[in-house]
Structure 1
Amino acid sequence: MGPTVVNGLPAHILFVHVVVVLVPLTALGVVAAAVRPGWARRFGLLLPVLALVSLVSVPLTTHAGEWLEKRVGDSPLLDKHTELGDTLLPWALGLFLVSAALWWLGRRAGSADSAAPAPGSSLAWTSTTWFRSVAVVVALIVAVGACVDVYRIGDSGAKAAWTGGFSSKPLPHKG
């Protein structure tokens, strides 16, 4: 599916940084675009493309992690990390779908501006407020869910990698 080793290092330890940066960045962009519809138009295709890269990076990282899992010792901490790692893909997909919907609505609103109903029209105000409110709520749910999941997965991975792997006191260096 994807590379498992990069420059002699397990690819998972490199790919995970892409996920840790891009998923929260995408989540922030999705919330910003939902709260400020004008920003969704300014972002243009950038936000859906960022969300797509985030989405694709999740299974690449998971695949490389599964490869690595077979090459390290088994532990309960690693089992917890791998279980949690499988939960991020739906959140990343949600970020992509919400970003694509915001992009599409932003384009539609931009083209409809010239043919908009008269200001003060209650139908236009009600539908805009309703769509905007739904977009903000959905964006917040998906963004918070994705960020919390990234945190939980990263925390469990750090514990799996580092628990018992260092000394609390400095070690003498051989010189």
Structure 2
Amino acid sequence: MGKSGPTLDIISYFPENDWGVFEEIAPLYEKGLSISDIADQTGLKNTAIWRNLKKQRKVLRSQDPVSFDRWRKGRGKTRARPPYGFCYFQGEVIKSPNEYPTLLLIESLSRKQRLSITAIVDALAKKKIKSRTGKPWSYNVIKSVLKRFDDGTIEKLLNNGPKTKGRNK
């Protein structure tokens, strides 16, 4: 007689109707939240969310990358990364609590103190402020940030009322 333990029965539950799950995720999806954002809020897996939306014949948004120009026109959240100093929160572009103060510092060093781009890069390195990616600042990145001030992109975002994450006013 060989060694054998008790037999285990594995019971799987596959509900016929996931309507309760759909009622929870559909409003979030309609608000513009991404599948990943919904998964973070609900604790469901991305595939379960997709499956439920498809099962209920919900019209799904395109998951193809969208150009920054389309994002700039205000068509909601896309895969384009928002400009430095801003982030997505619940489908809206808001001031990033980590990056926005650095954005203001860059503008101040350029406009008020009249520092060159190279001097701004050096000042940020001296203060040990890293870029969004955690790398040291480069000349071209600072140039791009300042260009967004000049072409009005930052002003448009500020006029559209982005809020600071975590602060309700």
TM-score, with length taken from structure 1: 0.30
Bigger radius of gyration among the two: 2
Greater RCO (CA < 8 Å, at least 6 residues apart): 1
TM-score normalised by length of structure 2? 0.31
Q: Higher helix fraction: Structure 1 or Structure 2?
A: 1
